[in-house]
Structure 1
Amino acid sequence: MGLDAPSLKLVGHGQFKRVNPNSDLFKVIKFHHIDWWCSDATSTQRRFGWGLGMQLVAKSDLSTGNSTFASYALKSNDLVFSFTAPYSTKVEKSKESKSPIPWYKADMALNFIAAHGLGVRSVGVLVEDAAEAHQKATAHGAVSVVEPVTLRDEASGTEQVVSEVNLYGDVVLRFVSGSYQGPYLAGYTAVESPPLSYGIQRLDHAVGNVHDLEKAVNYIARATGFHEFAEFTAEDVGTVDSGLNSMVLASNNERVLLPVNEPTFGTRRKSQIQTFLEQNEGPGLQHLALKTDDIFSTMRELRKRSSQGGFDFMPRASDAYYKNLPAKIGDVLTPEQYKQVQELGLLVDKDDQGVLLQIFTQPLSDRPTVFLEIIQRIGCMHERAEPASAVPPVMEQAGGCGGFGKGNFSELFKSIEDYERLLDIN
C-alpha cells in the first residue's frame, strides 16, 4: 500500500471481506520482542517472570558496565519481553558506559514513565532487512525515530541492525535483522538461569488505542504495506453502556497482527478506550495477546500465582454464559474441557475457521491502562510455505485462527464496566 493507495474505511464486521493482497513493502517474519519502559526494571521483570513463567536470558546494567539504564530480557519459547529503566540523570555518566542501545536517553525515558506509567515503548518485529524496512517505511510516510544502527556482539562477531519508526503515541515499531542469534539484542550479556515456562509460546497480537482509528490504521498500512485482517464497530461489540471501533492490520504471513481501537461516544458510560486514553495521557499499547497451546495448563499455573505476586484476572462470566457455550461452540471441546473453561473463567468464541479460548488480566499497574490476554487457537492448520522442501511437511496454524473474540466482547465489556465501577472511574 503506497502513498497513492486507497484509504482503509471502517465498514463493520458484517460488511468486511478479508483479502490478503500480499502488499508488505518489506519482508516481515514475526514479532521479535516487546520492550517495556518502567521505573524499576529489577522488580518488574521479577514479577513478570514469576507471574507468566518467563526465564531471565539477558541483561544490561551496572554489572555489565551500562551506567545509563538497567534492562532485563525474559523469554518463554518464542515470546521475549524486556524491561528497561533509566538510572539517575543527576549522576554523571561514564564516557565508557557500555550501553547496547546507544539511542536510549534517560530523560526521554523518565518523561515516558511520568506520562504513561508502566507501558510498552517498542514493538519489535523481525524483518529481513531493518535498514530497508526503515527506508521504505519513511518513504511512505512513517515518522523516523531511530535511523538504522548496527549493533555488534563481540563474543560471536555477529551483527544486528535495528531501526525504529513511530507507531502511535509514544510507541515505536522497532525493526530488527542481522546474523546475531542471541537471546535478545546484540550487546546484552547472556544470563544463565533455571529453565522456566508455564506454556506461553509467543506473542499473537499487539493492540493499540488511539483517538482517530482510520487516521492511525492508514498511517500504519501505508508505512508497512500491511493489509486489513478484520474489523469491528460499536454495533458489533458494544454493550448498552460503552463500546469501541476496531481494525486489525496484518503482515503478508499474518504472523504480525496489529489491532487498533478507538473509543465511541454517546453511551451511558465512558468507553474503556477513552478511559485508557485519559489515564495513559494519549495513545498507546492497550494489551498484548500471549498464545499458548494448552490454555488449561497455562492458566492453572497463572492463577496459582495470582495471589502470590502474579497477575489478577477479570471476573468470570455469568453462569448463563457458560450454560450456553456448548450450543454456541459445539463439540470442538469435550464436556471435561467445558468444565475447565468455567472453572478457570475462560471465554470461548469461534469464526468460520476455528475456535478461540481467551482470558484477560486486570490492568498490570496502578493505572487502568495496559493489560494482558492469554489465548489458545484451535483449528486452521496448513502446510508451512517455507521451507517448501521440508519432508515431512511442517504444519502451522493460520494467523488469527478463531478470530479475536467478537462474540465475547459484550461479556468482556460488562466485566470491565463492573471493574471500573469499583475504581469509581466513570
Structure 2
Amino acid sequence: MHTDTTSQNLPKVNAKAEDFLPILGTDFVELYVGNAKQAAYYYQTAWGFQPVAYAGLETGKKDTTSYVLQQGKIRLVLTSPMGEGGNINRHISEHGDGVKFVSLWVDDATRSFEETVKRGAKPYAEPYTIEDEHGKAVISGIHTYGETIHLFIERKDYEGPFLPGYKAWTKVYKTETVGLKYIDHMVGNVGWNEMNKWVNFYADVMGFAQLLSFDDKDISTEYTALMSKVMSNGNGRIKFPINEPAEGKKKSQIEEYIDFYNGAGVQHIAVATDNIIETVSELQRRGVEFLNIPETYYDTVLDRVGEIDEDLAPLKELGILIDSDDEGYLLQIFTKPVLDRPTMFFEIIQRKGAQSFGKGNFKALFEAIEREQDLRGTL
C-alpha cells in the first residue's frame, strides 16, 4: 500500500504548477469490462497482478462485480455489470472495455471537489462518505475528456483492503509479479483541435503545468501525425500527456483510437520498472505481445543516445527502445492493444535519469504502429 500519508511531505518538482490541489498519487484505475472475472485472470496470469479485494453478490452488491488487483503501487479495478441495460452496459457497448475512472489519492476529497468545480470542472459526484468495519473513506469526482472521470479518494481514516464495501480477496491462485512499480504516466487521446482545451483544463481547473510539447514535426511519419502536450502536477506524481490527431496522408493511431473507442479516452497506461529486460522477458514468456521494432533501429541508436549501462543485445532481441535527454536516458516498450478493439495498450518504462517521454523514438514507434494498422486495414 501507499506509505506517504500527506501531500505536504512531497517535494515540488514542477515549479510552474500552481498546485492548489494536493495529490499524493494515483489511487486506482478502474476499467469497465465485459467480463471482470476473466479480465482479472488475464491481469493476474499475464501481468503478475495480485488479488486484493472483491465486491459482488457475495458482498451484497447486486448490480456490479468488481475485482481489485495490485502490483507495487499500481491498483487496477475491473468492473462488470450484472444485468442488462444501464450505464455500464452502454459504456461497454459504445467503447468496448476501457478506462472509466482515473482516481487520484488526495488529502481532502471535499476540498478537491470544491476547488476544481469552483474553477470550472463539471461535477460528477459531490463528496460522499462510505464506511464499514474498517473505517471510512470520502469520495468525490469530476468529468474530464470523453467519459473519463477523475475521482478524488480520501482514505486516511480507512484501514481495509481497498474501500468500504469491498472484502479481502484471498485466492490460492497467485502468480509471481513481473517487477512493475507504479504508474509513470497515463495518456489521453482527444479529438481534432481539442488538445489545448484539455491542456487548459488541467492547468486552470487542476493547477497542473505543462512539462513538454510535441507538434506534428516531432511526431510524424510519411503517413500519420499527431500533437501532444504533457501536463504534470507539482510533485510530479501525476503526468498526463494529451494527444490529438494532426493532418497526415493516412489515418493516424489517434484517429483509429477515436473511431473504435467512439470518442476521447485513455489511450495507454505507462508502468515503471527497475529492470525492463527482466520485466519484458517475463511478460513475453507469459504471452503479452509487443510492437515489433525493425533491427535497423539498433544500428544507430547508441550514436543518438550515447553510452548506456545495458548490453544492447537483449534490448534488440526484446524490441526495447532507448532515448535520452539532458538528465539521462530511458528504456521503453509498447504492447499491442490488450483488447479486441485497437484502443488501450500499455507502455513499460525504465527511467535512468531521463524525465522525458521518448521523443527520439516517436518515428520508429509510429512506423511500428502503422504496420499493425495496415494489418488491421485501418491505416
TM-score band, normalised by shorter chain: over 0.9
Match of 2:37 among 42, 63, 72: 42
Deviations 1:74-123 (A, max 9, x none): 0001110010001014xxxxxxxxxxxxxxxx711111101100100000
Q: CA deviation at 1:297?
A: 0.9
Q: Matched residues in 1 for 2:243 and 2:315: separation? A: 27
1:423 aligns with 2:376: yes
**Correspondence for 2:4:** none
Q: Matched residues in 2 for 1:321 and 1:402: separation? A: 22
Q: Matched residues in 2 for 1:172 and 1:283: separation? A: 12
Q: Matched residues in 1 for 2:218 and 2:267: separation? A: 20
Q: Matched residues in 2 for 1:29 and 1:172: separation? A: 18
1:294 aligns with 2:275: yes
- Report if aligned partners of 1:55, 1:74 keep a CA contact under 8 Å in 2: yes
Match of 1:109 among 76, 88, 99: 88
**Correspondence for 1:15:** none
**Correspondence for 1:186:** 164
1:139 aligns with 2:113: no
The percentage of aligned residue pairs carrying the same residue is 34
1:321 aligns with 2:297: yes
Q: Matched residues in 2 for 1:136 and 1:21: separation? A: 19
Q: 3-state DSSP class of the match of 1:52?
A: coil
**Correspondence for 2:146:** 169
**Correspondence for 2:23:** 28
**Correspondence for 2:245:** 263
- Looking at CA atoms only, which structure, 1 or 2, has the larger radius of gyration? 1
**Correspondence for 2:187:** 207
**Correspondence for 2:72:** 77
Deviations 1:216-262 (A, max 9, x none): 11122211011111110010121111011001111110110011000
**Correspondence for 1:280:** 261
Higher alpha-carbon deviation: 173-182 or 286-295: 173-182
- Report if aligned partners of 2:65, 2:79 keep a CA contact under 8 Å in 1: yes
- Report if aligned partners of 1:76, 1:200 keep a CA contact under 8 Å in 2: yes
The residue type paired with residue 225 of structure 1 is: G
Deviations 1:336-389 (A, max 9, x none): x2111111110111111121111111111111111111111112xxxxxxxxxx
**Correspondence for 1:221:** 203
**Correspondence for 1:5:** none
TM-score normalised according to structure 1 size: 0.83
The residue type paired with residue 306 of structure 2 is: G
Deviations 1:123-166 (A, max 9, x none): 01111111110111011011111111112131x2x211111101
* Distance change in 2, residues 1:345/1:224 (3 Å): same
- Report if aligned partners of 2:14, 2:232 keep a CA contact under 8 Å in 1: no
Which runs of 5 or more structure 1 residues have no equivalent in the other structure?
1-17, 90-105, 380-400
Q: CA deviation at 1:195?
A: 6.4
Q: CA deviation at 1:71?
A: 0.2
TM-score normalised according to structure 2 size: 0.93
- Report if aligned partners of 1:294, 1:376 keep a CA contact under 8 Å in 2: yes
The residue type paired with residue 370 of structure 2 is: E
**Correspondence for 1:56:** 51
CA-based RMSD: 1.4
Q: 3-state DSSP class of the match of 2:217?
A: helix
Match of 2:289 among 293, 297, 312: 312
Q: Matched residues in 1 for 2:332 and 2:160: separation? A: 31
- How many residues are aligned here? 362
Q: Matched residues in 2 for 1:152 and 1:354: separation? A: 45
**Correspondence for 1:244:** 226
Q: CA deviation at 1:56?
A: 0.8
1:122 aligns with 2:117: no
**Correspondence for 1:197:** 177
The residue type paired with residue 374 of structure 1 is: I
Structure 1: 4+ residue segments shifted above 3 A: 193-196
**Correspondence for 2:336:** 362
Q: CA deviation at 1:192?
A: 2.1
Which runs of 5 or more structure 2 residues have no equivalent in the other structure?
1-12
**Correspondence for 1:384:** none
